[in-house]
Structure 1
Amino acid sequence: MGFLLSFSLITLLSLASIRNEAQGIKSARLLDLVIRDYTFKSYDINNKTGIIHTVHLPANFSGIEVDTVKFRCGSLRRYGAQVKEFHLGIGVIVEPCVQRVMVIRQNLGHNWSSIYYACFDLSGYQLVSPILGLLAYNDGSDVNFSNPVELGIHAGEKPITIDFTNATSIAHPSGIRPLCASFENDGKVKLKTPASHNICVVTRRGHYGLVIESPPPSAGAPGQARKKISLWKVWWGARLGLPWAYSFWVCFWWQCLLMQRRKQKWRRWKEEPTKRKLCKCQWLAM
Protein backbone atom coordinates (compact mmCIF):
# COMPACT_ATOMS: atom_id res chain seq x y z
CA MET A 1 0.00 0.00 0.00
CA GLY A 2 2.75 2.40 0.99
CA PHE A 3 4.64 1.50 -2.18
CA LEU A 4 1.67 2.35 -4.40
CA LEU A 5 1.20 5.70 -2.67
CA SER A 6 4.90 6.53 -2.97
CA PHE A 7 4.94 5.51 -6.63
CA SER A 8 1.91 7.71 -7.36
CA LEU A 9 3.51 10.70 -5.65
CA ILE A 10 6.85 10.22 -7.45
CA THR A 11 5.10 9.90 -10.81
CA LEU A 12 3.05 13.02 -10.11
CA LEU A 13 6.12 15.02 -9.13
CA SER A 14 8.10 13.92 -12.20
CA LEU A 15 5.23 14.82 -14.53
CA ALA A 16 4.88 18.18 -12.81
CA SER A 17 8.62 18.83 -13.17
CA ILE A 18 8.64 18.16 -16.93
CA ARG A 19 5.43 20.13 -17.45
CA ASN A 20 6.75 23.10 -15.46
CA GLU A 21 9.92 23.06 -17.55
CA ALA A 22 7.88 23.47 -20.73
CA GLN A 23 5.56 26.06 -19.17
CA GLY A 24 8.55 28.07 -17.93
CA ILE A 25 9.96 28.55 -21.44
CA LYS A 26 9.07 32.07 -22.51
CA SER A 27 12.02 32.95 -24.74
CA ALA A 28 13.33 31.60 -28.02
CA ARG A 29 16.87 31.45 -26.66
CA LEU A 30 15.86 29.32 -23.68
CA LEU A 31 14.01 26.95 -26.00
CA ASP A 32 17.21 26.56 -28.06
CA LEU A 33 19.16 25.64 -24.93
CA VAL A 34 16.58 23.08 -23.82
CA ILE A 35 16.58 21.47 -27.27
CA ARG A 36 20.38 21.46 -27.25
CA ASP A 37 20.49 19.73 -23.86
CA TYR A 38 18.02 17.02 -24.90
CA THR A 39 19.99 16.52 -28.13
CA PHE A 40 23.28 15.93 -26.34
CA LYS A 41 21.63 13.75 -23.68
CA SER A 42 20.40 11.42 -26.43
CA TYR A 43 23.72 11.60 -28.28
CA ASP A 44 25.10 8.28 -29.53
CA ILE A 45 28.82 8.24 -30.30
CA ASN A 46 28.16 5.49 -32.84
CA ASN A 47 26.09 7.79 -35.06
CA LYS A 48 27.65 7.84 -38.50
CA THR A 49 28.94 11.05 -40.04
CA GLY A 50 26.58 12.60 -42.57
CA ILE A 51 23.53 10.55 -41.48
CA ILE A 52 20.53 12.46 -40.10
CA HIS A 53 19.18 11.22 -36.77
CA THR A 54 15.88 12.20 -35.15
CA VAL A 55 15.92 13.55 -31.59
CA HIS A 56 12.94 12.44 -29.48
CA LEU A 57 11.76 15.15 -27.09
CA PRO A 58 9.39 14.67 -24.10
CA ALA A 59 5.66 14.66 -24.81
CA ASN A 60 5.17 18.17 -23.44
CA PHE A 61 7.30 19.47 -26.34
CA SER A 62 4.95 17.89 -28.87
CA GLY A 63 4.91 19.66 -32.22
CA ILE A 64 8.66 20.28 -32.26
CA GLU A 65 10.75 18.27 -34.70
CA VAL A 66 14.50 18.05 -34.10
CA ASP A 67 17.10 16.31 -36.24
CA THR A 68 20.84 16.19 -35.85
CA VAL A 69 23.73 15.24 -38.11
CA LYS A 70 27.47 15.43 -37.63
CA PHE A 71 30.06 16.44 -40.22
CA ARG A 72 33.77 16.89 -40.53
CA CYS A 73 34.43 20.60 -40.84
CA GLY A 74 36.62 20.25 -43.94
CA SER A 75 34.23 17.90 -45.74
CA LEU A 76 31.29 20.19 -45.04
CA ARG A 77 33.17 23.08 -46.63
CA ARG A 78 34.22 21.08 -49.69
CA TYR A 79 30.92 19.38 -50.47
CA GLY A 80 28.17 21.26 -48.64
CA ALA A 81 25.19 19.32 -47.27
CA GLN A 82 21.41 18.92 -47.27
CA VAL A 83 19.81 18.92 -43.81
CA LYS A 84 16.06 18.56 -44.34
CA GLU A 85 14.84 22.00 -45.53
CA PHE A 86 18.33 23.55 -45.30
CA HIS A 87 20.80 23.31 -48.17
CA LEU A 88 24.33 24.31 -47.19
CA GLY A 89 26.15 25.30 -50.35
CA ILE A 90 29.74 24.46 -51.25
CA GLY A 91 32.24 26.60 -49.36
CA VAL A 92 30.14 26.92 -46.20
CA ILE A 93 32.29 28.22 -43.35
CA VAL A 94 32.16 26.91 -39.78
CA GLU A 95 33.68 29.19 -37.13
CA PRO A 96 35.72 27.99 -35.39
CA CYS A 97 36.47 25.05 -37.66
CA VAL A 98 36.65 22.21 -35.12
CA GLN A 99 37.30 18.59 -36.08
CA ARG A 100 33.65 17.56 -35.98
CA VAL A 101 30.49 19.65 -36.13
CA MET A 102 27.04 18.70 -34.87
CA VAL A 103 24.33 20.46 -36.88
CA ILE A 104 20.87 20.69 -35.30
CA ARG A 105 17.80 21.37 -37.40
CA GLN A 106 14.61 22.54 -35.68
CA ASN A 107 11.01 22.72 -36.84
CA LEU A 108 9.12 24.37 -33.99
CA GLY A 109 5.65 23.68 -35.37
CA HIS A 110 2.89 26.27 -35.13
CA ASN A 111 2.30 26.07 -31.36
CA TRP A 112 5.90 26.67 -30.28
CA SER A 113 6.58 29.13 -33.10
CA SER A 114 4.18 31.49 -31.32
CA ILE A 115 6.98 32.21 -28.81
CA TYR A 116 8.54 34.39 -31.51
CA TYR A 117 5.58 36.78 -31.35
CA ALA A 118 6.54 37.56 -27.74
CA CYS A 119 10.31 37.71 -28.32
CA PHE A 120 10.38 39.69 -31.57
CA ASP A 121 8.54 42.69 -32.99
CA LEU A 122 6.25 41.18 -35.62
CA SER A 123 3.64 43.92 -35.45
CA GLY A 124 1.84 44.20 -38.77
CA TYR A 125 2.83 40.68 -39.84
CA GLN A 126 1.81 37.11 -39.10
CA LEU A 127 3.62 33.82 -39.52
CA VAL A 128 2.36 31.50 -42.25
CA SER A 129 4.96 28.80 -41.64
CA PRO A 130 6.57 27.17 -38.63
CA ILE A 131 9.90 28.55 -37.47
CA LEU A 132 12.84 26.56 -38.86
CA GLY A 133 16.16 26.71 -37.05
CA LEU A 134 19.72 25.75 -37.98
CA LEU A 135 22.35 25.64 -35.21
CA ALA A 136 25.78 24.05 -34.85
CA TYR A 137 27.89 22.86 -31.90
CA ASN A 138 31.31 21.37 -31.29
CA ASP A 139 31.23 17.58 -31.60
CA GLY A 140 34.94 16.86 -31.25
CA SER A 141 36.62 14.50 -28.82
CA ASP A 142 37.00 17.37 -26.32
CA VAL A 143 33.30 18.31 -26.34
CA ASN A 144 31.75 19.27 -23.00
CA PHE A 145 28.34 17.58 -23.13
CA SER A 146 26.99 19.69 -20.27
CA ASN A 147 27.88 22.96 -22.01
CA PRO A 148 28.84 22.41 -25.68
CA VAL A 149 30.31 25.32 -27.62
CA GLU A 150 28.00 26.91 -30.19
CA LEU A 151 29.57 27.42 -33.59
CA GLY A 152 28.90 29.87 -36.38
CA ILE A 153 27.85 28.82 -39.88
CA HIS A 154 28.30 31.26 -42.76
CA ALA A 155 27.64 30.92 -46.47
CA GLY A 156 30.73 30.68 -48.66
CA GLU A 157 30.87 30.39 -52.43
CA LYS A 158 27.20 29.44 -52.61
CA PRO A 159 24.37 30.61 -50.34
CA ILE A 160 22.40 28.70 -47.75
CA THR A 161 18.84 28.08 -48.95
CA ILE A 162 15.72 27.07 -47.01
CA ASP A 163 12.86 25.31 -48.76
CA PHE A 164 9.56 25.90 -46.92
CA THR A 165 7.53 23.98 -49.53
CA ASN A 166 7.08 20.86 -47.39
CA ALA A 167 6.73 22.76 -44.12
CA THR A 168 3.15 22.84 -42.89
CA SER A 169 1.76 26.21 -43.93
CA ILE A 170 -1.04 28.25 -42.41
CA ALA A 171 -3.72 29.12 -44.95
CA HIS A 172 -3.43 32.68 -46.24
CA PRO A 173 -5.14 34.66 -49.00
CA SER A 174 -4.19 33.51 -52.49
CA GLY A 175 -2.10 35.88 -54.54
CA ILE A 176 -0.14 37.14 -51.53
CA ARG A 177 3.52 36.21 -51.71
CA PRO A 178 5.05 35.58 -48.27
CA LEU A 179 8.26 37.28 -47.19
CA CYS A 180 11.29 35.58 -45.66
CA ALA A 181 11.77 36.58 -42.03
CA SER A 182 15.14 36.31 -40.32
CA PHE A 183 15.06 36.50 -36.51
CA GLU A 184 18.23 38.22 -35.32
CA ASN A 185 20.02 37.85 -31.98
CA ASP A 186 19.32 41.50 -31.10
CA GLY A 187 15.56 40.92 -31.20
CA LYS A 188 15.05 42.49 -34.62
CA VAL A 189 13.36 40.88 -37.62
CA LYS A 190 14.74 41.29 -41.14
CA LEU A 191 12.34 40.78 -44.05
CA LYS A 192 13.38 39.81 -47.54
CA THR A 193 11.65 38.79 -50.75
CA PRO A 194 12.11 35.04 -51.39
CA ALA A 195 14.36 33.99 -54.26
CA SER A 196 11.55 31.81 -55.63
CA HIS A 197 8.31 30.28 -54.38
CA ASN A 198 8.81 29.42 -50.67
CA ILE A 199 12.61 29.42 -51.08
CA CYS A 200 14.59 31.73 -48.79
CA VAL A 201 18.27 32.58 -49.28
CA VAL A 202 20.24 33.25 -46.09
CA THR A 203 23.88 33.77 -45.19
CA ARG A 204 24.24 32.16 -41.77
CA ARG A 205 22.75 29.85 -39.15
CA GLY A 206 19.72 31.06 -37.20
CA HIS A 207 15.91 30.93 -37.20
CA TYR A 208 13.70 31.71 -40.16
CA GLY A 209 10.05 31.73 -41.20
CA LEU A 210 7.57 32.99 -43.78
CA VAL A 211 5.32 35.96 -42.94
CA ILE A 212 2.61 38.01 -44.61
CA GLU A 213 1.12 41.34 -43.69
CA SER A 214 -1.65 40.98 -41.13
CA PRO A 215 -5.13 41.62 -42.60
CA PRO A 216 -7.02 44.62 -41.14
CA PRO A 217 -9.24 43.61 -38.20
CA SER A 218 -12.93 43.20 -38.96
CA ALA A 219 -15.74 44.57 -36.80
CA GLY A 220 -16.34 41.26 -35.07
CA ALA A 221 -12.69 40.37 -34.69
CA PRO A 222 -12.17 41.34 -31.00
CA GLY A 223 -15.02 39.15 -29.77
CA GLN A 224 -13.94 36.26 -31.97
CA ALA A 225 -10.36 36.60 -30.79
CA ARG A 226 -11.46 36.54 -27.16
CA LYS A 227 -13.58 33.44 -27.86
CA LYS A 228 -10.64 31.66 -29.49
CA ILE A 229 -8.36 32.59 -26.61
CA SER A 230 -10.94 31.35 -24.10
CA LEU A 231 -11.31 28.01 -25.89
CA TRP A 232 -7.53 27.72 -26.06
CA LYS A 233 -7.27 28.32 -22.31
CA VAL A 234 -10.01 25.78 -21.58
CA TRP A 235 -8.28 23.17 -23.74
CA TRP A 236 -4.87 23.67 -22.15
CA GLY A 237 -6.42 23.91 -18.69
CA ALA A 238 -8.14 20.56 -19.17
CA ARG A 239 -5.02 18.96 -20.61
CA LEU A 240 -2.81 20.13 -17.76
CA GLY A 241 -5.40 19.82 -14.99
CA LEU A 242 -6.78 16.32 -15.59
CA PRO A 243 -3.61 14.43 -14.54
CA TRP A 244 -3.43 16.54 -11.37
CA ALA A 245 -7.12 15.99 -10.61
CA TYR A 246 -6.85 12.24 -11.16
CA SER A 247 -3.74 11.94 -8.97
CA PHE A 248 -5.37 14.05 -6.24
CA TRP A 249 -8.52 11.88 -6.41
CA VAL A 250 -6.49 8.67 -6.04
CA CYS A 251 -4.50 10.06 -3.11
CA PHE A 252 -7.66 11.43 -1.43
CA TRP A 253 -9.54 8.14 -1.54
CA TRP A 254 -6.45 6.25 -0.50
CA GLN A 255 -6.15 8.43 2.60
CA CYS A 256 -9.88 8.00 3.32
CA LEU A 257 -9.46 4.22 3.17
CA LEU A 258 -6.50 4.31 5.54
CA MET A 259 -8.38 6.56 7.99
CA GLN A 260 -11.41 4.23 7.92
CA ARG A 261 -9.25 1.23 8.70
CA ARG A 262 -7.55 3.07 11.57
CA LYS A 263 -10.97 3.98 13.05
CA GLN A 264 -12.13 0.36 12.85
CA LYS A 265 -8.94 -0.83 14.52
CA TRP A 266 -9.30 1.81 17.26
CA ARG A 267 -12.94 0.85 17.86
CA ARG A 268 -12.04 -2.84 18.22
CA TRP A 269 -9.22 -1.94 20.58
CA LYS A 270 -11.61 0.07 22.83
CA GLU A 271 -14.28 -2.63 22.82
CA GLU A 272 -11.85 -5.39 23.82
CA PRO A 273 -11.51 -4.42 27.56
CA THR A 274 -15.31 -4.08 27.90
CA LYS A 275 -15.82 -7.56 26.53
CA ARG A 276 -13.22 -8.97 28.92
CA LYS A 277 -14.92 -7.29 31.92
CA LEU A 278 -18.32 -8.62 30.88
CA CYS A 279 -17.01 -12.17 30.60
CA LYS A 280 -15.34 -11.91 34.02
CA CYS A 281 -18.57 -10.72 35.68
CA GLN A 282 -20.53 -13.56 34.14
CA TRP A 283 -17.95 -16.08 35.38
CA LEU A 284 -18.11 -14.75 38.96
CA ALA A 285 -21.90 -14.80 38.94
CA MET A 286 -21.80 -18.48 38.15
Structure 2
Amino acid sequence: MGLRRGGCVLLALLFSFFRSSCGRTSSDVSASRSMDSLIRDRAFRELVRRRTGVVYRVPLPANLSAMEASVLRLRSSSLWRRGANLSASYIPPGTLAVPHVRRVVVVYQNWRGMSASYFGVPGYELAAPVVGLFLYDASDNASSAELDLRVTEDPVSIRFTVAAPDSSTRCARFERDGSVHLQNPASTGQCTARSTGHFTMIVPSGSSSGHAPARKEKKWRVLDMEIVGGMLALALVVLMGTGIRRLVKKKRRMKQIVRHAEENDALGAACVGKSRMPSAAMTRTQPRMENEDAPMT
Protein backbone atom coordinates (compact mmCIF):
# COMPACT_ATOMS: atom_id res chain seq x y z
CA MET A 1 0.00 0.00 0.00
CA GLY A 2 2.87 2.35 0.82
CA LEU A 3 4.51 1.68 -2.56
CA ARG A 4 1.25 2.39 -4.32
CA ARG A 5 0.86 5.73 -2.55
CA GLY A 6 4.47 6.62 -3.25
CA GLY A 7 3.92 5.86 -6.93
CA CYS A 8 0.87 8.08 -7.01
CA VAL A 9 2.84 10.97 -5.51
CA LEU A 10 5.67 10.44 -8.02
CA LEU A 11 3.25 10.55 -10.93
CA ALA A 12 1.68 13.68 -9.51
CA LEU A 13 5.03 15.44 -9.55
CA LEU A 14 5.45 14.77 -13.30
CA PHE A 15 2.53 16.97 -14.34
CA SER A 16 2.54 20.73 -13.93
CA PHE A 17 -0.91 21.74 -15.07
CA PHE A 18 -3.24 18.83 -14.49
CA ARG A 19 -2.24 16.13 -12.06
CA SER A 20 -3.90 13.09 -10.60
CA SER A 21 -2.99 11.22 -7.42
CA CYS A 22 -4.54 8.83 -4.92
CA GLY A 23 -4.22 8.27 -1.24
CA ARG A 24 -7.61 8.45 0.45
CA THR A 25 -8.55 5.29 2.26
CA SER A 26 -11.90 3.62 1.72
CA SER A 27 -12.91 4.51 5.28
CA ASP A 28 -12.23 8.22 4.62
CA VAL A 29 -14.26 8.09 1.41
CA SER A 30 -17.13 6.29 3.13
CA ALA A 31 -17.12 8.75 6.04
CA SER A 32 -17.15 11.82 3.80
CA ARG A 33 -19.92 10.38 1.64
CA SER A 34 -22.00 9.70 4.75
CA MET A 35 -21.53 13.34 5.75
CA ASP A 36 -22.61 14.42 2.26
CA SER A 37 -25.82 12.40 2.63
CA LEU A 38 -26.53 13.86 6.05
CA ILE A 39 -26.06 17.44 4.78
CA ARG A 40 -28.21 16.68 1.72
CA ASP A 41 -31.07 15.42 3.90
CA ARG A 42 -30.83 18.49 6.12
CA ALA A 43 -30.78 20.76 3.08
CA PHE A 44 -33.94 19.22 1.60
CA ARG A 45 -35.74 19.57 4.95
CA GLU A 46 -34.73 23.22 5.08
CA LEU A 47 -36.30 23.81 1.64
CA VAL A 48 -39.77 22.72 2.77
CA ARG A 49 -42.11 25.68 2.18
CA ARG A 50 -39.16 27.82 1.10
CA ARG A 51 -38.85 30.02 -1.98
CA THR A 52 -37.09 28.93 -5.15
CA GLY A 53 -34.05 30.98 -6.14
CA VAL A 54 -33.10 32.00 -2.56
CA VAL A 55 -30.00 30.77 -0.73
CA TYR A 56 -30.69 29.35 2.74
CA ARG A 57 -28.31 28.32 5.48
CA VAL A 58 -28.56 24.62 6.37
CA PRO A 59 -28.82 23.95 10.13
CA LEU A 60 -26.41 21.19 11.16
CA PRO A 61 -26.19 19.06 14.32
CA ALA A 62 -24.20 20.35 17.29
CA ASN A 63 -21.36 17.90 16.63
CA LEU A 64 -20.95 19.45 13.15
CA SER A 65 -20.99 23.07 14.34
CA ALA A 66 -17.49 23.53 12.88
CA MET A 67 -18.95 23.06 9.38
CA GLU A 68 -21.09 25.38 7.26
CA ALA A 69 -23.61 24.54 4.55
CA SER A 70 -26.05 26.43 2.35
CA VAL A 71 -28.65 25.34 -0.20
CA LEU A 72 -30.31 26.81 -3.29
CA ARG A 73 -33.23 25.43 -5.31
CA LEU A 74 -33.46 26.37 -8.98
CA ARG A 75 -35.23 25.45 -12.18
CA SER A 76 -32.86 23.87 -14.66
CA SER A 77 -33.76 26.58 -17.17
CA SER A 78 -32.71 29.24 -14.65
CA LEU A 79 -29.42 27.45 -13.99
CA TRP A 80 -28.77 27.48 -17.74
CA ARG A 81 -29.61 31.16 -18.18
CA ARG A 82 -28.25 32.72 -15.00
CA GLY A 83 -26.03 30.20 -13.29
CA ALA A 84 -25.85 30.08 -9.48
CA ASN A 85 -23.83 31.82 -6.79
CA LEU A 86 -23.45 30.19 -3.35
CA SER A 87 -20.99 31.66 -0.88
CA ALA A 88 -17.51 31.11 -2.35
CA SER A 89 -18.61 29.03 -5.35
CA TYR A 90 -19.98 30.28 -8.66
CA ILE A 91 -21.67 28.19 -11.35
CA PRO A 92 -21.67 30.23 -14.59
CA PRO A 93 -24.51 30.43 -17.12
CA GLY A 94 -24.50 27.74 -19.78
CA THR A 95 -24.36 24.93 -17.18
CA LEU A 96 -26.52 21.81 -17.48
CA ALA A 97 -27.52 19.22 -14.90
CA VAL A 98 -26.75 15.67 -16.01
CA PRO A 99 -29.08 13.86 -16.41
CA HIS A 100 -31.55 16.59 -17.20
CA VAL A 101 -34.26 17.23 -14.59
CA ARG A 102 -36.83 19.94 -14.15
CA ARG A 103 -35.56 21.37 -10.86
CA VAL A 104 -32.19 21.10 -9.14
CA VAL A 105 -30.90 21.71 -5.63
CA VAL A 106 -27.37 23.08 -5.26
CA VAL A 107 -25.66 22.34 -1.93
CA TYR A 108 -22.52 24.16 -0.80
CA GLN A 109 -20.33 22.79 2.01
CA ASN A 110 -17.44 24.29 3.94
CA TRP A 111 -15.71 21.70 6.13
CA ARG A 112 -13.52 24.26 7.92
CA GLY A 113 -11.76 22.72 10.93
CA MET A 114 -12.97 19.22 10.10
CA SER A 115 -11.24 19.17 6.70
CA ALA A 116 -8.02 17.45 7.77
CA SER A 117 -9.96 14.67 9.52
CA TYR A 118 -11.60 13.48 6.28
CA PHE A 119 -9.35 14.63 3.43
CA GLY A 120 -5.66 14.42 2.67
CA VAL A 121 -3.13 14.04 -0.13
CA PRO A 122 0.17 12.16 0.44
CA GLY A 123 3.10 14.56 0.40
CA TYR A 124 0.87 17.63 0.76
CA GLU A 125 -0.97 19.51 3.45
CA LEU A 126 -4.17 21.48 3.24
CA ALA A 127 -3.74 25.21 2.66
CA ALA A 128 -7.49 25.93 2.83
CA PRO A 129 -10.67 24.31 4.13
CA VAL A 130 -12.31 21.70 1.94
CA VAL A 131 -15.35 22.96 0.00
CA GLY A 132 -18.07 20.71 -1.36
CA LEU A 133 -20.39 21.52 -4.28
CA PHE A 134 -23.18 19.10 -5.25
CA LEU A 135 -26.32 19.01 -7.39
CA TYR A 136 -29.43 16.98 -6.58
CA ASP A 137 -32.69 16.23 -8.31
CA ALA A 138 -35.45 18.40 -6.80
CA SER A 139 -38.19 17.37 -9.20
CA ASP A 140 -39.27 14.64 -6.80
CA ASN A 141 -38.47 15.20 -3.13
CA ALA A 142 -38.60 11.45 -2.55
CA SER A 143 -35.71 10.98 -5.01
CA SER A 144 -33.05 13.63 -4.26
CA ALA A 145 -30.68 11.72 -6.54
CA GLU A 146 -27.20 13.16 -7.01
CA LEU A 147 -26.54 14.81 -10.38
CA ASP A 148 -23.44 15.86 -12.23
CA LEU A 149 -23.01 19.06 -14.18
CA ARG A 150 -21.81 19.89 -17.67
CA VAL A 151 -20.37 23.31 -18.44
CA THR A 152 -20.49 24.49 -22.02
CA GLU A 153 -18.61 27.75 -21.53
CA ASP A 154 -16.68 28.97 -18.47
CA PRO A 155 -15.90 26.44 -15.71
CA VAL A 156 -17.18 26.56 -12.15
CA SER A 157 -15.01 28.80 -9.95
CA ILE A 158 -14.32 28.29 -6.24
CA ARG A 159 -12.70 30.94 -4.06
CA PHE A 160 -10.60 30.14 -0.99
CA THR A 161 -9.63 32.50 1.81
CA VAL A 162 -5.86 31.97 1.75
CA ALA A 163 -2.73 34.02 1.24
CA ALA A 164 -1.56 34.67 -2.30
CA PRO A 165 -0.66 31.25 -3.75
CA ASP A 166 2.87 30.60 -4.95
CA SER A 167 4.21 28.20 -7.57
CA SER A 168 3.88 25.23 -5.20
CA THR A 169 0.17 25.72 -4.50
CA ARG A 170 -2.19 23.26 -6.18
CA CYS A 171 -5.93 22.87 -6.48
CA ALA A 172 -7.22 19.45 -5.46
CA ARG A 173 -10.49 17.75 -6.40
CA PHE A 174 -11.48 14.64 -4.44
CA GLU A 175 -13.33 12.10 -6.52
CA ARG A 176 -16.03 9.68 -5.32
CA ASP A 177 -13.72 6.68 -5.76
CA GLY A 178 -11.05 8.16 -3.47
CA SER A 179 -8.69 9.45 -6.15
CA VAL A 180 -7.45 13.04 -6.11
CA HIS A 181 -6.95 15.24 -9.17
CA LEU A 182 -4.49 18.12 -8.90
CA GLN A 183 -4.13 21.18 -11.10
CA ASN A 184 -2.60 24.63 -10.99
CA PRO A 185 -4.85 27.38 -9.64
CA ALA A 186 -6.23 30.03 -11.94
CA SER A 187 -4.36 33.29 -12.37
CA THR A 188 -6.67 34.89 -9.80
CA GLY A 189 -5.80 32.25 -7.21
CA GLN A 190 -9.13 30.49 -7.58
CA CYS A 191 -9.77 26.85 -8.37
CA THR A 192 -11.89 25.84 -11.33
CA ALA A 193 -13.89 22.68 -11.98
CA ARG A 194 -16.14 21.10 -14.59
CA SER A 195 -17.86 18.66 -12.25
CA THR A 196 -19.17 18.46 -8.70
CA GLY A 197 -17.20 17.16 -5.71
CA HIS A 198 -14.94 18.29 -2.88
CA PHE A 199 -12.26 20.91 -3.55
CA THR A 200 -9.40 22.55 -1.67
CA MET A 201 -5.94 24.08 -2.10
CA ILE A 202 -2.81 22.22 -1.01
CA VAL A 203 0.92 22.86 -0.69
CA PRO A 204 3.85 20.43 -0.33
CA SER A 205 4.38 19.20 3.21
CA GLY A 206 6.81 21.39 5.14
CA SER A 207 6.33 24.35 2.81
CA SER A 208 6.72 27.71 4.54
CA SER A 209 3.61 28.94 2.77
CA GLY A 210 1.50 26.02 3.87
CA HIS A 211 -0.37 27.10 6.95
CA ALA A 212 -3.63 25.22 6.89
CA PRO A 213 -6.52 27.04 8.57
CA ALA A 214 -7.76 23.65 9.77
CA ARG A 215 -4.56 23.08 11.69
CA LYS A 216 -4.60 26.60 13.09
CA GLU A 217 -8.15 26.15 14.26
CA LYS A 218 -7.21 22.81 15.81
CA LYS A 219 -4.32 24.44 17.69
CA TRP A 220 -6.63 27.16 18.98
CA ARG A 221 -9.11 24.53 20.13
CA VAL A 222 -6.38 22.66 21.99
CA LEU A 223 -5.26 25.92 23.59
CA ASP A 224 -8.83 26.74 24.61
CA MET A 225 -9.22 23.29 26.15
CA GLU A 226 -5.98 23.74 28.09
CA ILE A 227 -7.14 27.13 29.40
CA VAL A 228 -10.53 25.75 30.44
CA GLY A 229 -8.87 22.74 32.06
CA GLY A 230 -6.49 25.00 33.96
CA MET A 231 -9.34 27.16 35.21
CA LEU A 232 -11.28 24.11 36.37
CA ALA A 233 -8.20 22.75 38.16
CA LEU A 234 -7.63 26.12 39.83
CA ALA A 235 -11.27 26.27 40.94
CA LEU A 236 -10.99 22.75 42.37
CA VAL A 237 -7.84 23.69 44.30
CA VAL A 238 -9.55 26.80 45.71
CA LEU A 239 -12.58 24.76 46.80
CA MET A 240 -10.40 22.13 48.43
CA GLY A 241 -8.36 24.82 50.19
CA THR A 242 -11.51 26.52 51.46
CA GLY A 243 -12.91 23.23 52.73
CA ILE A 244 -9.67 22.30 54.53
CA ARG A 245 -9.47 25.78 56.07
CA ARG A 246 -13.02 25.52 57.39
CA LEU A 247 -12.35 22.05 58.79
CA VAL A 248 -9.19 23.19 60.59
CA LYS A 249 -10.97 26.27 61.93
CA LYS A 250 -13.88 24.17 63.21
CA LYS A 251 -11.54 21.69 64.89
CA ARG A 252 -9.61 24.52 66.54
CA ARG A 253 -12.85 26.05 67.78
CA MET A 254 -13.95 22.75 69.31
CA LYS A 255 -10.66 22.45 71.16
CA GLN A 256 -11.15 25.96 72.57
CA ILE A 257 -14.66 25.11 73.76
CA VAL A 258 -13.46 21.94 75.51
CA ARG A 259 -10.56 23.75 77.17
CA HIS A 260 -12.82 26.54 78.35
CA ALA A 261 -15.28 24.04 79.80
CA GLU A 262 -12.51 22.22 81.66
CA GLU A 263 -11.13 25.42 83.13
CA ASN A 264 -14.53 26.53 84.46
CA ASP A 265 -15.56 23.14 85.81
CA ALA A 266 -16.13 23.32 89.61
CA LEU A 267 -15.30 19.66 90.04
CA GLY A 268 -12.02 18.07 89.29
CA ALA A 269 -11.53 15.47 86.67
CA ALA A 270 -9.97 12.07 86.67
CA CYS A 271 -9.16 9.71 83.83
CA VAL A 272 -10.58 6.23 83.99
CA GLY A 273 -9.26 4.23 81.10
CA LYS A 274 -9.76 6.45 78.04
CA SER A 275 -12.63 8.36 79.62
CA ARG A 276 -12.46 11.60 81.55
CA MET A 277 -14.81 11.72 84.53
CA PRO A 278 -15.52 14.41 87.15
CA SER A 279 -14.16 13.86 90.66
CA ALA A 280 -14.00 15.80 93.92
CA ALA A 281 -11.34 15.92 96.60
CA MET A 282 -12.12 13.78 99.64
CA THR A 283 -12.66 16.02 102.74
CA ARG A 284 -13.70 14.61 106.11
CA THR A 285 -16.60 16.38 107.78
CA GLN A 286 -15.53 17.81 111.13
CA PRO A 287 -17.57 16.57 114.11
CA ARG A 288 -19.73 19.11 115.92
CA MET A 289 -21.62 19.08 119.22
CA GLU A 290 -25.32 19.68 119.15
CA ASN A 291 -25.17 22.67 121.47
CA GLU A 292 -21.82 23.98 120.52
CA ASP A 293 -20.89 26.07 117.56
CA ALA A 294 -17.19 25.41 117.82
CA PRO A 295 -15.88 22.18 116.51
CA MET A 296 -14.31 19.65 118.88
CA THR A 297 -10.58 19.45 118.79
Q: CA deviation at 1:25?
A: 10
> Identity of counterpart residues, as a percentage?
33
What secondary structure does 1:87 align onto? strand
1:130 is aligned to 129
Q: Secondary structure at the match of 2:41?
A: helix
Say if 2:144 is the partner of 1:154. no
TM-aligned CA distance change 1:200 to 1:234, over 3 Å: closer
1:138 deviates by 1.4
Deviation at 1:26, TM superposition (A): 7.0
SS of corresponding position for 2:80: helix
**Partner AA of 1:124 in structure 2:** G
Q: Is 1:195 aligned with 2:186? A: yes
Runs of 4 or more consecutive aligned structure 1 residues displaced over 3 Å after TM superposition: 174-177, 231-236
Counterparts of 2:153 and 2:61, CA distance in 1: 39
Q: Which moved more, 1:124-133 or 1:90-99?
A: 90-99
In 1, the alpha carbon distance for the partners of 2:29 and 2:89 equals 26
- Mark the CA change 1:128 to 1:58 in structure 2 (over 3 Å): closer, same or farther: same
Question: Aligned letter for 1:191?
Answer: L
Work out whether residues 29 and 178 of structure 2, in 8 Å CA contact, stay in contact via their aligned partners in 1.
Answer: no
Match of 2:105 in 1: 102
Structure-2 residue corresponding to 1:253:
none
Structure 1 residues 232-252: Cα deviation after superposition (integer angstroms, max 9, x where no partner):
59949x99xx9xxxxxxxxxx
* Match of residue 112, structure 1, among 111, 114, 125: 114
Report if aligned partners of 1:182, 1:190 keep a CA contact under 8 Å in 2: yes
Please name the residue that 2:36 is paired with: 32
Give the secondary-structure state (helix, strand or coil) at the position aligned to 1:27: helix
* 2:199 corresponds to 1:208: yes
Aligned to 1:92: 95
Structure showing greater radius of gyration is 2
Q: Deviations over 1:241-270 (max 9, x none)?
A: x9xxxxxxxxxxxxxxxxxxxxxxxxxxxx
TM-score between the two structures when normalised by the length of structure 1? 0.59
Contact kept in structure 2, 1:26 and 1:115, CA below 8 Å: no
* TM-score between the two structures when normalised by the length of structure 2: 0.57
Any gaps of 5 or more consecutive residues in structure 1? 1-23, 218-224, 243-286
CA-atom RMSD, angstroms? 3.2
Which 5+ residue runs of structure 2 have no aligned equivalent? 1-27, 209-214, 233-297
Give CA deviations for 1:153-172 in whole Å, capped at 9, x if unaligned. 222222111121xx3x4x79
Decide which structure has greater helix share: 1
Q: Check conservation: 2:168, 2:204, Cα contact below 8 A.
A: no
Distance (whole Å) between structure 1 residues aligned to residue 111 and residue 224 of structure 2: 23
Shift of 1:197: 3.4
Is 1:183 the counterpart of 2:174? The answer is: yes
2:141 aligned partner? 143
Q: Aligned partner of 2:123: which letter? A: G
